Structure formats: C-alpha cells, structure tokens
Structure 1
Amino acid sequence: MSRKIAIFDTTLRDGEQSPGASMNTEEKLIIARQLVRMKVDVIEAGFPISSPGDFKSVQEIGRIAGDACTVCGLTRAVDRDIEVAAEALRTAKCPRIHTGLGVSPSHLRDKLRMTEEQAIARAIHAVKYARNFVDDVEFYAEDAGRSDQEFLVRIIQAAVKAGATVVNIPDTTGYNMPWDFGARIRDLRERVDGIEDVTISVHTHNDLGMATALALESVRNGATQIECTINGLGERAGNTSLEEVVMAIHMHEEALDAHTDIVTTELTRASKLVSSITGINVQPNKAIVGANAFAHSSGIHQDGVLKARDTYEIIDPADVGAGGSQIILSARSGHAALRHRMGELGYAFNDEEFETIYQSFLEVADKKKEVYDEDLESIVHERERVSAAIWTLGAVQVSCGFPLTPTATLTLLDEEGAEHKVCAFGTGPIDAVYKAVNQVVSVDNDLSEFAIQAVTRGIDALGEVTVRVTAADGEVYTGRGSDGDIVVSSTKAYLNALNRLISHQRERAADNAAATADAQ
C-alpha cells in the first residue's frame, strides 16, 4: 500500500489573503462544506486572534466538520494567540493548533529581532503551551526555504522533542528550486531524532511558478502532508494548487509511492465555488480546472481525440467532475432534460427551487440558440446572490447616446420588499445607474475595479460583470452579476458588492456588540 499524503487546505486562511478574496463567515462555511465533501484531511479555518470574524469562522467550521476532518487555527508563537485559538477550536472534534515563527536570517534579524537560541526557546515554549490545550500541534518554521539548514535541523528537533505532532517546512517566498527543497526535507528526515513519528508538512508558494513541483519533490523525499489551496489562491502569486498536486499524485501514484483520499470528482465544483465566492476568475488555461483544460481547437487534436480520447488527454474529464454532456439545451428543452444536466453538474433542487431555476433557464434560452453549462452555473449563482441579498433589483432603464445626457431610472427592493424609485444622470449609462443606486443604498465606497466578460461564446452570450468596491475602512468587496443585458449585469454586480459590504458591516457590528457585552 502506498503512503497516504494528507491534504491540508488553507483556502480559508492563506487563500483569503489574496487581495479582494476576503470572505464572511457564511461564505467560508459554504466552502468548508465543500472541503468536507472532498474529504480533505485538514481545514485551516482561520487566524482566530486576527479578528472576531476569523474567530467565529473557526468556531462554526469546527461545528460542521465533526470528525470528518481536522480543523486547524493559526497562531504566532505567542501565548495569547494560542489561548484564543484554543477557545475558538473548542467546538471542533479534531482540533489542531498551528503555531510557529520565522527561521530565516532575515526573519530573525529584521522581523523578530532575536537570536537563534531565543527563537528555539520561543518555539519550545509555544509547542509545549499549545499542548496544554490540544493533543495535535503543528509547528511551522516560516521561511524555512531561505533558512540556514543547520539551524533548521536544530529548531525542528526542538519542536519535535517539545511535542509537535506535525512540523511544517514552508518555502514562504517560493524561492527554492525543487531539488534543493527536496534535499532539505530529506536531510531533516535523516538527522532529526523522532521525526519518523511526526507528520512532515510542506507549504510552498508560487512566486517562481514552481509551487506544485516543490510540493511533489517534497513528497518524493518523505513529506506526508501538503498545504495547498483551491485554484492556487494565496499571497502574491499564490499557494500550491490543491487540484494540481492531488491529480499529479493520482496520476503518478506508483512512481511517488503515494496517494490521497481526495474525492477528485469534486475538484471542478470546488474550483467554481471558490471562484464565484471570491470573485477571482480562474485563468482559462489553468491546469485541471481551467475552461480550456479539456478543450481542443486544433483540427489535428480534434481528429486524434475523436479516435481515442487519451491521444491528447491524460485525464478523463469525468475524473475531476468536468465531464461534458451530449444533451443540447435550448428553449425547446423540458424539465427532465434540464434536471438531468443539473444533476450531472452536481446540483440537486427540490421541486419549488427547481421551478425557479427552470423559469430563469427559459428566460435565457429564449434569447440564445443554445444554453451552455457556464450559463447554467451563472443562473444558479445569480439565484444564490439574489436569495441572500439585502437590496435587489426591481427594474432599471437607461437612455443615452449623442447628444443625450445618460439617464438611469431605477427601482430597488429592500429586505421588506418595499420599492425605492429614483432617477440619476451620469457621464455614461453605467455611471448613471451607479449614481442612482447610491442615492438609495447610502454606504460609503469607492469603485476600484469594473470588468466585463462573456459567460459563453457567441454574440448572444450572457454578460458577466465583476466589480470591486473599497469601503471607508479600506476593505475590498467583490460583486458579480450576469444577464443578457450588460446594464442589468452591471447593476446586479454593484448591488452584490454593496450587499456583501453591508452584510460584513452588520456582522462586525454584532461581533463588537457581543464583545462589549462580554466585557461588561
């Protein structure tokens, strides 16, 4: 039997640190449930001491995870960090505290301003202190990729002796070459006493485009846990992509003497879910989950694939949940055809929910020759955005063109269903619409990004608008909207971003009120 490689997913912690990818607790719980369905081994749910929202997220994820996987909270090697993480993890059946500090010369000298001996003492104390609260303690040696190897051996030895159950060797800046990083892992295995009884974890970044290669070389040299994110989200150029390392191990199990327990048919669904929630699009040529990952445009390739799929495809699309259907959906398709295709995409609805989806499908189908999978995904996501909205769009109409002054007439519905009608002028139709929205939804923000893309091919494609707004406190919120009319898409996207901003403000206000009440 090959070695089991644990998959440690940090989408909700390190992945969320991608600019514009912040998520509220409800959104994190949606992703966490998907991670449980995928059978990840560890969910790093957040950094509890960093904010009340992160604390709450760790708590709630601990509740829903049960014994299906370990739930982890990050800390610095600081007593108060560890205490707060332990409190947040009290709801988890399988809790883990992830604590540590920087070990490279620059971290010790410039950030921590301590000697090697002081760092070792701090590491020992942090691990021992964390063991007072949980049995499972992971020690991270931040920037291990640029550390002095002799010192790295010493501090990892100290952490193991202090009681760490997992030691995390990060290439925090994505600096290493795969063979050099693999040699570091092999050296630790050979020289650290007792390391055979703990899990060796690696946390690699993609600054030089080699995060996946670094992780796989580590596995080849003895690592038994990979820390990664859906779609490779993360600081700067991102983290190791979960879908890439999982499928690489799956395809080369014999050569690596390794396997994972990940349900690979959930990978595409997870990718789309994270992209939808964060607003960060997956590049079309992204390995495994990109839109073009299993697409063939060259005549030679098409001929080869038609004769034998594996001529140009090493992975069956169905193995990662990207299997296509031969059913062509149009305005003439009935309930049975749509329900069948939705089921293949991984969606299940009760009769009432499905009827709403079907009516939305007919509205799109009446405007298009063919409805594609991406259209169906957009219909579902649009429904989810509206169902959770504080403000929804009732109607919008614009008049513009030379020499007219762009004018928008808008009707919005609040949470109680009351209508708010307004009219505004702008430099263009979208500007006029957004000024009208701002007259009704009074919340300080600055529109920092606006992007339009077609959901599918063809002149009749749905248009999807992505916007990012910056709140008065500097937080960035992403909104998306889709429709056959780009003005309607733009309005929905802006409302989606403002709804997320308002929801986060309310959540933060509730957390602050609760904290004040506890203090009193």
Structure 2
Amino acid sequence: MSAPKLSPVPSSQPERLHIFDTTLRDGEQAPGFSMTAPEKLEMAHLLANLRVDTMEAGFAAASPGDTEAIRLIAREVRGPTICSLARATEKDIDAAAYALEPAQRSRLHVFIATSPIHREAKLRLSRREVIQTIERCLKHAAGRFDEIEFSAEDALRTEPEFLVEALSCAAQNGADVLNVPDTVGYSEPDEIYRVFADLVEKVERPDHVIFSAHCHNDLGLAVANSLAAVKAGARQVECAINGIGERAGNCSLEEVVMALQVRADIFPAVSHADATQIWAASQRLSRMTGTAVAPNKAIVGKNAFAHEAGIHQHGMIADRRTYEIMTPESVGVPGSSLVLGKHSGKHALSQRLAKLGYQPDPDRLNEIFAQFKAAADLHGEINDADLVAMMEGYSASGSQWTVLRTELRTTAGRKPKQFARIELEHPVRGRISDIASGDGPVAAAFAAVQRITGTDVDIISLETRMRANGSGREFVADIEVEIDGRRYSGRARGPDIVTAAIDALLFTLDRGEAYDRAEANQPTPAHAV
C-alpha cells in the first residue's frame, strides 16, 4: 500500500493545516479520563463531524481493549484518517496494523525518544542505535499503512544537530509526517519558532513531507507554542478536545481552530475543521469523563460568551461585536449570556426580564432592581430562577412548587437500596407526598418528584457545590434536563444538596410547562406588574 502525498496547496493561497486529534489516545491517558470502547466510538463520530483530518484512536499495543476500540472505530467511522500509536518495535507496529485493518484510511504513528536524558536514562541507547532503530522500524512498517508519522519524543530537549539527523532518517525511510513534540511542555513560543524554522530549512525530505507540532501544557503555553510552530512552517497540529491529556494536558483543539479562524490575517495556514461542532464535542466529552470544563476556559467554558459587567452588557445589547471577537454560534454554543450579578446594570436586568415574559413599569423595575442588587451582593450570580421568584413570589427555586419535607433512607445488606419520601406544596394542588427508590438519594428524590408532578424527564447533568454566604453556607445545584426532546437548565440554592437539587429540577419542570403553554398559545400565569 503506497503512502499518498500530503502536498500543500499552491502558495498563492493559505496552506492547509492538518488537525490531528489525540483526545482518544493522549487525552485518554490522563488519570480519570479512561473511556470504554462504546464511549470512544461515540466521541470518534463527534470528531468526524468536526472534520478533524486524523484521529488517533488509541495505542494498539497497550491492551486488548485498546486494540478492539481502534478496530471498532476503524470499521465504523468514515472521513478522518484513523491512527494508532506505536513504539519503534516490530511487535507494536504489527499490533497497529491489525487494529487499523478495517480503516478507510490508516496511519501509523511511531515514536522513539531522541533527547539525551531519554536516551541515557530510559532507552540506554546511543545516538547511532536510535538511528538504526528508526531505520529498522520504518522498513518493517513500509507498505502496510496509508500514511506513516514519525515522532521524536522529547524533541525540544534533543541536540539540534541530532534532531535534524533523526528526522531526516525518518523522512528518507518512508515517514510522511515528522512530529516534533514538546513532550514535557518545556519550551516557549520564540524557541519553538526557531526550532521549527531550523528544521524546515535543514531536514532532508521529499516535498510532500510535512512537520507537525505536539505541545504539552505544563507551562500553560501549549496553544501559543503550537501557533508559533505553524508560523514557522508546521502544517499539522496535534491537539485534544478541552485540552485533555497527560499532566497539564495537550494543546486545546478548540483554541487552535478558532485562533486560526479569527486571526486568519496573521497565520499562513487554515484548517478545514467545522468549528460549529466544537461545543457539542466538548460538552459530550465533559459529561463522558465526569470532568467539568473550567468556567473561564477559552471557547468552551461557560463564561466564554458570558458578560456580567454593566458596561460590557450595555455594549453587547447595542452591538455584540463590542466585546465578542467571535460569535457563540460559530463554535456551536446556543448563544451569548448576560450573566446577572452585582456588576450588572438595569439595561441587562430589563432585557432578561423581557425574555422571561415580564415588562415591569419603571417603578416596579426600580423595586426589582433594588432586590436584585441585594441578592447579588449576597449570592453572586443571579439566574432566571431567582428573577422569577422575585417577580412571582414563588419558592427559592423560582418554581410554583415548594419543598416541605425530604426524608432519605438506605436499607442495610450487601445490596442496599435508597428511598426518598418527598412532600411538596402547590398553590392549586395543595400538599402532595410520595415515596420512590433510586440509585442514590438524589435519584430516589427525583423519582418521587416526577411521580408527584406527573412528569417524565431525562436528567442530562447535575452539578452541586457548597459555597459560603453571609450566614454560613449554602448548596447550589445546576441541572440540565430533557423534556419531550427539548433541553432546559436551571439552578437553585438550598440548605443541603438534595433540597437544592430538587428545587433546581422543579424550576426546569416549570420552564418546560411554560414553553408548552406559549407554543399552544394558551394564557400564561398573570404577569401583572
């Protein structure tokens, strides 16, 4: 099987930057991020939707499970090139070849360390022995894959002249991509630029061979280093969704893709990734691994398109370009968010109330604004549930339902069961209680609430946390649910985790009912203000 050439486009146009995604390999190696084969397949389909050029599906020789996951992805995913990592040994290369057999297009990613510390402490090989290993393994791989990528592990701590020699050897023995990893996140942008510029000039290689950057984030410079490499001539960047990976992680795919898109005026290459699929992939990975994305994470953090300061909110209301260099829709985010807090002004409050169906007169708005400011000083962020509660006098969750009592019980034995007795009060239906069981106290409580309210919802995510306030502490619950194919989210506070979670669920149920009423053009509860 001959390796096709990865030729750049004519120099009159921006060159093609290949996106190599390693979420399923390097990303999964991070503690706590392991995925099952079905989960890997689901993520692989999302990555295909994102139009990454190559996805590293795993490390075939690492385990039988990894081999089967790669074969599953290779068999069922079309579009991207499917890749397996391999050490520079015949056994690893054979394992990769078997795993990639069903692939529409396959790539071997073979590596060996080249730095002095790795050669001496880990490999116990001389320079000459490393070169001989590169020659031997690439000859063994020849003709068995559509593409071959060679990585010089710990390249940025390798002697410059030996790095040139090792990469030249790989290119002359069949490698189509030469990867230059900053394996331990040691470098910085100026140094990376100089290294890549030197390699582009000095490495002897066929015209189709491209350079790749694989940067780790130990010093928080993975994205900056990768972009510097692109400026110096790299035409592939290796990255992961949400920047997951060993130690402090890998270069973030979403940040590289959007940096190239937003600043196309300064970068010499462009990716063909579909940025509108970024949000979906990021959110699914976060839920799959049980690891939330930091709120201030670029592109995909919940605050990335959120604005609290009154000056910023006023500008956003007038023209979103005042404070946004990209639209949330460009990365698949549902929309910008004006976060209401103590820094927010009356313009933002009035706009949010209007979206909730309220149009208070000036005196009522001033009254609500004073309540809002007092609540913001006490709680920080104020959400829709809080505003509905201010306008309607509902419970703390913003729901018409009030939680009167929660009782939790667990049976003894080898397989204990959790039960919850919940008592709610409704202004029309009065007091109602019910008992239900579930896998855990919150699940049992949710089951009882759904029986009481007569609803059937799918819980997409639930996040709870404790925070200090002026009178001690409170618990905050953020929930996302799906009702009849539509998703709703809500937040509530409570004296304990279960009560806060129940109130958050009740608020989302009310939002779903309100949407149904509006869609059916039925009258909504009086908003006479």
TM-score bracket, normalised by the shorter chain, equals 0.5 to 0.7
CA pair 460-171 structure 1, distance change in 2 beyond 3 A: closer
Q: Comparing 79-88 with 133-142, which one deviates more in the overlay?
A: 133-142
Return the match for 1:369 from 385, 398, 422.
Answer: 398
Aligned structure 1 segments of 4 or more residues deviating by more than 6 angstroms: 391-394, 482-485, 488-491
Question: Equivalent residue of 1:237, what SS?
Answer: coil
Aligned to 1:111: 122
How far apart are the structure 2 equivalents of 1:269 and 1:366?
Answer: 33
Stretches of structure 1 that go unaligned for 5 or more consecutive residues are 331-364, 372-390, 399-408, 414-421, 423-428, 434-449, 466-481, 492-520
Deviations 1:228-257 (A, max 9, x none): 000000011100000000000011223212
Partner residue of 2:109? 98
Comparing 308-317 and 235-244, the one that deviates more? 308-317
Compute the displacement of 1:322 (Å): 1.3
Kept in 2, the 8 Å contact 1:368–1:460? The answer is no
Match in the other structure for 1:5: 17
Match of residue 518 from structure 1: none
Distance, in Å, in 2 between the alignment partners of 1:28 and 1:489 is 33
Mark the CA change 1:411 to 1:311 in structure 2 (over 3 Å): closer, same or farther.
closer
What is residue 405 of structure 1 aligned with on the other side?
none
Counterpart among 267, 276, 290 of residue 279 in structure 1: 290
Deviation at 1:410, TM superposition (A): 8.1
From 176, 179, 185, the counterpart of 1:165: 176
1:44 aligns with 2:56: yes
Compare the two structures and name the one with the higher helix fraction. 1
User: Equivalences for 1:145-224 in 2 at 5 Å?
Assistant: 145-194=156-205, 196-224=207-235
Q: Distance in 1 between the 2:208 and 2:491 partners?
A: 55
Higher RCO structure, 1 or 2 (CA under 8 Å, sep 6+): 1
Match of 1:288 among 299, 308, 316: 299
CA distance in 1, matches of 2:113, 2:21: 21
Match in the other structure for 2:256: 245
Contact 2:60 2:96 in 1 (8 A): yes
Deviation at 1:366, TM superposition (A): 11
Question: Does 1:143 pair with 2:154?
Answer: yes
Residue 308 of structure 2, aligned match among 297, 300, 312: 297
SS of 2:111's equivalent in the other structure is strand
Q: Does the CA contact (< 8 Å) of 1:328 and 1:370 recur in 2?
A: no
Does residue 270 (structure 1) correspond to residue 299 (structure 2)? The answer is no
SS state of the match for residue 20, structure 2? strand
C-alpha root-mean-square deviation of aligned residues, in Å? 3.4
CA distance in 2, matches of 1:272, 1:5: 25
SS in 2 for 1:227: strand
Q: Specify the alignment match of 2:27 in structure 1.
A: 15
Deviation at 1:452, TM superposition (A): 3.1
| 2:317 matches 1:306 | yes
* Pairs within 5 Å for 1:342-381: 368-369=397-398
Question: Which residue pairs with 1:31 in the alignment?
Answer: 43
What is the CA-CA distance between 1:196 and the residue it aligns to? Answer: 3.4
Gap change, CA 1:69 and 1:300, over 3 Å in 2: same
In structure 2, relative to structure 1, the CA distance for the partners of 1:117 and 1:51 (3 Å cut) is: same
Question: Would you say the 8 A contact 2:465–2:476 is kept in 1?
Answer: no
| Structure 2: gaps of 5 or more residues | 1-12, 337-351, 358-393, 401-414, 423-434, 446-461, 467-473, 481-489, 503-529
Which of 221, 233, 257 is the aligned partner of 2:268?
Answer: 257
Q: Is the 8 A contact 1:396 1:488 kept in 2?
A: no
Aligned-pair CA distance for 1:411: 3.9
Amino acid of the structure 2 residue aligned with 1:45: A
| Structure 1 equivalent of residue 427 of structure 2 | none
8 A contact 1:203–1:227 mirrored in 2: yes
